[in-house]
Amino acid sequence: MRVAVAGAGSVGTAIAKELSANGHDVVLFEKDPEVVARLRPHLPVRWVTADACEVSSLDAAGLAEVDVVVAATGDDEDNLVVSLLAKQEFAVPRVVARVNHPANQWMFTEAWGVDVSVSTPQLITALVEEAVSVGSLVRLLQFQGGEAHLVEVTLAEDSPAAGRSIADLGIPRDATVVAVVREERVVVPRGDTTLSAGDEVLLLVTGSAEPEIQRLLVGAQAPGPAHPAAP
């Protein structure tokens, strides 16, 4: 897979290093020549000393050929510009953008070319809630400008889904069970997979299906989804 990463700060370099180690073809944009000179010997990726907010720089680096763009700079405005250019000018299939300030989360939508936005404070909050919440719906990640979410439910003993197969639950069309984690083992979900108390069920939920998923897996009287409050 070909991946372009904008920004050689701590986040961008960590992403580039990990992707490169996993065998992906990575190009890393950084406009500061001193940073490039300092880091290039330690990070064996293709470096481009240029501003990723400029169309000419992206074009010269062959952005039209990449599969994923990661806008990982420390500036939200720059990340939005990179995302928009990647999607509109170069039709990059997948654009992932870092949100530095949670108050700006609302802007990171498909209107700006963002397929997946990642806010570190919100992600940490979600992971904390996921670790301690049993019988609650927890949002982990947001996709497609807020229209789709990856959610997790750890089934409580009194969950209405416990002891029932996925097919019998009547999952709405706007939701899909993508994985079940049971006793530290991932179970690939099938229609005849029977859920048990203690299972961690991960679903991709779109549209207005979230309340119905909560009713099916948590119960009608359960509290609302646990997720970071909107700014």
Q: Is the pLDDT of residue 207 over 80?
A: no
- For residues 11 and 103, membership in a common domain is answered with yes
Q: Is residue 138 part of a domain?
A: yes
The mean pLDDT of 44-61, rounded to a whole number, is 96
Residue 126: predicted pLDDT: 56
Residues 144 and 114 in one domain: no
Specify if 143 maps to a domain. Answer: yes
DSSP-derived pairing of the beta strands 175-182 and 200-206: antiparallel
CATH number for the domain that contains residue 84:
3.40.50.720
Check if the beta carbon of residue 78 is closer than 8 Å to that of residue 69.
no
Convert the pLDDT of each residue in 132-159 to its tens digit.
Answer: 466 777 777 776 556 778 888 889 899 9
Query: Which range marks the domain in which residue 19 is found?
Result: 2-118
Only one residue has tokens 């069970």, namely 177
Percentage of the chain beyond pLDDT 90 is 55
Do residues 7 and 106 share a domain? yes
CA distances from 163 to 133, 188, 192, 205, 217 (A): 20, 17, 11, 22, 11
Length of the chain equals: 231
159 and 91 in a common domain? no
Tell me whether residue 125 is in a domain: no
At residue 231, the pLDDT reads 37
Q: What is the DSSP string of 108-168?
A: -SGGGT-SEEEEHHHHHHHHHHHHH-SSSEEEEEEEGGGTEEEEEEE--TT-TTTT-BHHH
Tens digits of per-residue pLDDT, 73-127? 999 999 999 999 999 999 999 999 999 888 898 899 889 999 988 877 666 555 5
Q: Is residue 210 predicted with pLDDT exceeding 70?
A: yes
Summarize the confidence of residues 23-48 as an average pLDDT: 95
Residue 227, in any domain of the structure: no
Q: Does pTM top 0.75 for this prediction? A: no
Span 166-170, mean pLDDT? 93
Instruction: Report how far residue 196's alpha carbon sits from residue 182's, in angstroms, rounded to the nearest whole number.
Output: 8
Residues 105, 147: one domain? no
Q: Is residue 101 part of a domain?
A: yes
**Residue 150 sits in a domain of what CATH number?**
3.30.70.1450
Helices (H), the chain: 10-21, 33-39, 55-60, 76-88, 120-132, 166-169, 210-217
Query: 26, 52 in Cβ contact below 8 A?
Result: no
30 contacts 8 by C-beta, under 8 angstroms: yes
Average pLDDT for residues 172-196, to the nearest whole number? 89
**Residue 166 domain-assigned (yes or no):** yes
- Find the mean pLDDT for residues 52-58: 96
Same domain? 111 vs 201: no
Find all residues with CB under 8 Å of 92, minimum gap 6, and list them: 4, 63, 64, 66, 67, 68, 69, 86
Let me know: does 140 contact 152? Beta carbons within 8 Å: yes
Per-chain mean pLDDT for the chain: 86
Task: Identify the domain boundary among 118, 145, 165.
Answer: 118
Can you tell me which residue has the tokens 């990723």?
52
Same domain, 150 and 77: no
The answer to whether residues 165 and 104 belong to one domain is no
Are 59 and 106 found together in one domain?
yes
Q: Quickly state the pLDDT bin for 224 (edges 50, 70, 90).
A: very low
Do 113 and 6 sit in the same domain of this protein?
yes
In a domain, 11, yes or no: yes
Q: What pLDDT is stored for residue 24 in this prediction?
A: 93
Number of domains in the chain: 2
